[in-house]
Structure 1
Amino acid sequence: MSAIAHSATEPRLNSVTCASPAGLHRMAYWEWGDPDNDRVLLCVHGLTRTGRDFDVLAQTLQNDYRVVCPDVAGRGRSDWLIDPAGYVVPQYVADMVALVARLAPGRLDWVGTSMGGLIGLGLAGAATMSPALRPGRGRWGLGAAPDIPFGRMVFNDIGPALNLDGLSRIGSYVGQDIRFASFQQAVDYVQAVSQGFGPHDAAGWAALTEHVFHEQDGQWVKHYDLRMAQPFALQTPQATAAAETLLWQAWDHLPVPALIMRGEQSDILSTQTAQQMVSRNARARCVEFAGVGHAPTLRSGEQIDAVRQFLLAP
């Protein structure tokens, strides 16, 4: 179904109920475009960010897609998890399965920034590998499980190999209970810890701050569950290596075209890893952006054009 013209400048806010071993939680998601369009673009943010990171991209693509941008559990408008040990990619993948089931897309394209790319790779890997592992139930079962109808996937400054130095940099500020007396102080803080985002004007930095900080009792505080730093801090080289093995397997079997977006100065996605991703998957190509590290914010014309041309290519 083709999307109807849309001129909305603000998204619709919805939620879906998800399950974890500790109980139920709601995951909020922001939605742009025609809600009846079955061509869905799912945009998933980085570790401490929210779905509102994709506002500019979503407004550009809302006439082509139903654009859906979730706040991953523990961030933004979504519920916090009862057990902080659940702030890990497998739980996020499970939450996205619930969201995709709610959306029922005819075609699902994906844009994942940093952690959002890992979630997408985990979901694609599960969708690709699970049919062979699912025992048959004969004529008394429900029949074959429907495949997730992936179309194209964008991996924004992330890949199967994780740079430990970059992870350490992020870990140095994740979970810190920092409070500010004014919104401008929060903006200055986000700009200081996010130099990898590249150059933005004052309005751009304000937009990158307003949904990751919120006012509480006269102070501006982080708009996420600070406990998510706990499982992040428990990562070891051995655990990272094991995760990378699974991620490379998913990448090698990725069944759809992929665009790798890399910040030229990235300390998360190395040039070597990006090159290896292209060499190991014939459906992948890479584009690099000068003056940017981790991660491109998908707010500039150059970055948006790269995503749009890839996703809408015949």
Structure 2
Amino acid sequence: MTTGTTKAVDRFVRVGDLKLHYLEWGEAGAPPVIMVHGLSGNAHNFDNLAPHFVPRYHVISVDVRGRGDSDWAADANYSNDAYVADLEGLRQSLGFERMALVGTSLGGRISLTYAGTYPDRVERTVLNDIGPEIDPRGGSRIASSTRDAVTTFETMEEVLAWHCEQRVGFSSLSDADQRTVAGYAVKALPGGGYTWKMDPAVRTDPRRPDPETSWNLARGIPGPVLLVRGGISDLLSPETAQRMVAEMQDCRMVEVPGVGHAPTLAEPEAFGPVMKFFSLA
């Protein structure tokens, strides 16, 4: 992927019973920003964005439990509460008093819940194509594609082809970036071929946050929120996005035309506002 002027460092941290992997850009002591990927993503999903925060910010992009190079949950607990507890454990382990959050899809849901639960610990939040409730169209599509996903591949070309097929019309990633993202999402099998790094139990965990509870949490977030919506997103409806702007304490929205779920945040319509939101432009 195209990056800025600095390279990420791979690190691991123990949070409860799990060893979580994260990528780090910048220096300790700078204001921290934690970036959280989507359902089937991983920490490398922010490789295009994170370097632009350096040197002003200290950026952490985490593999959530069951993804990337982080441990799988022994009890197969992939509830929102578990993700939020992991994020709080990560904050404590890294010694951050306050931090900013950037979350895409599932990562945005985690960030919204965390910011509403611990408002004094979050300085500002970017929510990428996610809100307190999910448009049933996108929810059904993602549930179906996740449940029915191919689990093994003979070659990396097959991995890439499947990855691109799932994102037709929904992602603005270039072919080169598609290849990189797909490569980080799989691991080699001992006998040859590839399989997903993601714990298969993630695909069958039915637990979702209650929308009413999520709305209450969203309304309780005092710090500024930048909401990014894909212009043709089937997961975050225009009505939900407009309601968020109206009901949250300090929420502004930008749309990325022609992009579905979810923007990469590298698109000019998203990148510029994100940089301004963090006083980087």
- Bucket of the pairwise TM-score, normalised by the shorter protein: over 0.9
Tell me how far apart the structure 1 counterparts of residues 10 and 280 of structure 2 sit (CA, whole Å).
29
CA drift at 1:306: 2.0
- Determine the structure 1 residue equivalent to 2:179: 206
CA drift at 1:282: 4.0
| 1:237-276 correspondence runs (5 A) | 243-276=210-243
CA drift at 1:104: 2.3
Identify the match of residue 87 of structure 1 among 55, 71, 78. Answer: 78
CA drift at 1:200: 3.2
- Determine the structure 1 residue equivalent to 2:104: 113
Sort the Cα spacing of 1:294 and 1:222 in 2 relative to 1 into closer, same or farther, 3 A.
same
Note if 1:126 corresponds to 2:110: no
| 1:140-289 correspondence runs (5 A) | 147-148=120-121, 150-175=122-147, 176-217=149-190, 218-231=192-205, 234-235=206-207, 243-289=210-256
Sort the Cα spacing of 1:197 and 1:165 in 2 relative to 1 into closer, same or farther, 3 A.
closer
Identify the match of residue 14 of structure 1 among 1, 11, 15. Answer: 11
- Determine the structure 2 residue equivalent to 1:292: 259
Partner deviation per Cα, 1:250-284 (whole Å, 9 max, x = no partner)? 11111100010000111110000000000112411
Tell me how far apart the structure 2 counterparts of residues 32 and 214 of structure 1 sit (CA, whole Å).
24
The SS at the match of 1:254 is coil
- Determine the structure 2 residue equivalent to 1:72: 64
Tell me how far apart the structure 1 counterparts of residues 140 and 15 of structure 2 sit (CA, whole Å).
30
Partner deviation per Cα, 1:119-169 (whole Å, 9 max, x = no partner)? 1111122214xxxxxxxxxxxxxxxxxx42x21100000000112221111
- Determine the structure 2 residue equivalent to 1:34: 27
Partner deviation per Cα, 1:5-30 (whole Å, 9 max, x = no partner)? x9432x112222223xxxx1111111
The SS at the match of 1:56 is coil
The answer on whether the counterparts of 1:196 and 1:266 sit within 8 Å (CA) in structure 2 is: no
Gaps of 5+ in 1: 1-5, 129-146
CA drift at 1:296: 0.4
CA drift at 1:199: 3.3
Tell me how far apart the structure 2 counterparts of residues 106 and 90 of structure 1 sit (CA, whole Å).
21
The answer on whether the counterparts of 1:17 and 1:27 sit within 8 Å (CA) in structure 2 is: yes
Q: Where does structure 1 differ by over 6 angstroms across 4 or more consecutive aligned residues?
A: none
Tell me how far apart the structure 2 counterparts of residues 42 and 196 of structure 1 sit (CA, whole Å).
28
The answer on whether the counterparts of 2:170 and 2:233 sit within 8 Å (CA) in structure 1 is: no
Of structures 1 and 2, the larger Rg is shown by 1
CA drift at 1:105: 2.7
Greater Cα shift, 95-104 or 72-81? 95-104
The answer on whether the counterparts of 2:20 and 2:65 sit within 8 Å (CA) in structure 1 is: yes
The SS at the match of 1:15 is strand
Letter in 2 for 1:152: R
Gaps of 5+ in 2: none
Letter in 2 for 1:60: H
- Determine the structure 2 residue equivalent to 1:137: none
The answer on whether the counterparts of 2:25 and 2:51 sit within 8 Å (CA) in structure 1 is: yes
Tell me how far apart the structure 2 counterparts of residues 260 and 77 of structure 1 sit (CA, whole Å).
28
Identity across the alignment (%): 33
Note if 1:307 corresponds to 2:277: no
Report the TM-score when normalising by structure 1.
Answer: 0.83
- Determine the structure 1 residue equivalent to 2:35: 43
The answer on whether the counterparts of 2:254 and 2:269 sit within 8 Å (CA) in structure 1 is: no
Number of aligned residue pairs: give it.
Answer: 276
The answer on whether the counterparts of 1:93 and 1:122 sit within 8 Å (CA) in structure 2 is: yes
CA drift at 1:103: 2.1
Letter in 1 for 2:90: L
Sort the Cα spacing of 1:177 and 1:202 in 2 relative to 1 into closer, same or farther, 3 A.
closer
